[in-house]
């Protein structure tokens, strides 16, 4: 048990996530109830569910995060911007957007940055987390993607959608944090299922964890505390 990361402290950095296409209204309501019960930082859901989550969480400190250009990042920037604008108008506090991965792979970093900038401007006053989908990028591309995101005004860089070929790794978190420095933050997401997974990401430099296994992680932490 890492005494720095108690169950209560850990809950405060977890985005309790449900992004499955099959998610029902009852499941989204249950997600919100769990977020309030365990004290999670936010729920992260698909845009359709933003109004429902805003209502369900209105009497709590839990934030509403939603995704934009998800999961491929291949929408036109104007569509991403409008998607973000609507989500914020409906009650979203945070926007997790997917960068233009194809343009990143092609080395067109100006377009990548402009794409993120459009969403940052449309999302105000909500913050933006730029999902760079690390599983598809080389080391140099990860560095360039992080730099583009920060230059565009994103508050966080985020590892993964959870729909790619891989999720967060300690090595990627360390690289991303080293690249962005102290002026911005890293969100680790994708494949984080245990207390050890979560703590390793936080110790490597992440400030937020995205996980669908948030309840299991906190219950594991509670069990360790009681030993």
What pLDDT is recorded for position 1?
66
Q: What is the distance between the alpha carbons of residues 22 and 58, in angstroms, rounded to a whole number?
A: 25
96 flagged as catalytic: yes
Residue 204 lies in a domain: yes
Structure tokens at 55: 């209502």
What pLDDT is recorded for position 227?
80
Picking from 204, 193, 223, the residue whose alpha carbon sits closest to that of residue 14 is 193
**How many domains, the chain?**
1
Residue 87 lies in a domain: yes
Q: What is the DSSP string of 147-184?
A: HHHHHTT-SEEE---SSSS----HHHHHHHHHHHGGGS
Residue 119 lies in a domain: yes
> pLDDT tens, position by position, for the chain (227 residues)?
677 899 999 999 999 999 999 999 999 999 999 999 999 999 999 999 999 999 999 999 999 999 999 999 999 999 999 999 999 999 999 999 999 999 999 999 999 999 999 999 999 999 999 999 999 999 999 999 999 999 999 999 999 999 999 999 999 999 999 999 999 999 999 999 999 999 999 999 999 999 999 999 999 999 998 88
187 flagged as catalytic: yes
Residue 161 lies in a domain: yes
Helix (H, G, I), strand (E, B) or coil at 200: helix
CA distances from 98 to 5, 68, 105, 140, 157 (A): 29, 7, 14, 18, 10
Q: What is the CATH number of the domain that holds 171?
A: 3.20.20.70
State the catalytic residue, choosing from 93, 158, 177, 197. Answer: 158
Residue 2 lies in a domain: no
Q: pTM value? A: 0.97
Residue 72 lies in a domain: yes
State the catalytic residue, choosing from 41, 129, 177, 187. Answer: 187
What pLDDT is recorded for position 226?
87
* Residue 154 domain boundaries: 7-225
Sign of the Cα pseudo-torsion (186, 124, 71, 114, in order): negative
Picking from 87, 33, 88, the residue whose alpha carbon sits closest to that of residue 62 is 33
CB under 8 Å, gap of 24 or more: what pairs does 102-111 form?
102/73, 102/74, 104/132, 104/137, 104/141, 104/144, 104/145, 104/148, 105/136, 105/137, 105/141, 109/144, 109/147, 109/148
Classify the phi-psi angles of 84: left when phi > 0, otherwise alpha if psi is within -120 to 50, otherwise beta: alpha
What pLDDT is recorded for position 4?
85
Residue 1 lies in a domain: no
Picking from 10, 36, 18, the residue whose alpha carbon sits closest to that of residue 219 is 10
29 flagged as catalytic: no
């Amino acid at each position: 048990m890492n005494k720095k990361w108690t169950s209560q402290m850990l809950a405060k950095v977890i985005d309790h996530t449900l992004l499955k296409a099959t998610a029902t209204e009852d499941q989204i309501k249950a997600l919100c109830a769990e977020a309030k019960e365990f004290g999670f930082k936010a729920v992260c859901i698909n845009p359709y569910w933003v109004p429902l989550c805003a209502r369900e969480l209105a009497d709590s400190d839990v934030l509403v995060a939603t995704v934009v250009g998800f999961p491929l990042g291949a929408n036109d920037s104007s569509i991403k911007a409008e998607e973000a604008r609507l989500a914020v108008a409906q009650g979203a506090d945070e926007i997790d957007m997917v960068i233009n991965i194809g343009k990143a792979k092609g080395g067109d970093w100006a377009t990548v940055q402009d794409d993120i900038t459009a969403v940052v401007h449309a999302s105000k006053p909500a913050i933006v987390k730029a999902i760079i989908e690390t599983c598809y990028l080389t080391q140099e591309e990860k560095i360039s993607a992080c730099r583009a995101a920060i230059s565009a005004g994103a508050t966080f860089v985020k590892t993964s959608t959870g729909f790619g070929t891989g999720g967060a790794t300690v090595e990627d978190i360390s690289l991303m944090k080293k690249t962005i420095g102290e002026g911005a933050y890293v969100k680790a997401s994708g494949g984080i299922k245990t207390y050890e997974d979560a703590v390793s990401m936080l110790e490597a430099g992440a400030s937020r964890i995205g996980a669908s296994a948030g309840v299991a992680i906190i219950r594991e932490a509670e069990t360790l505390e009681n030993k």
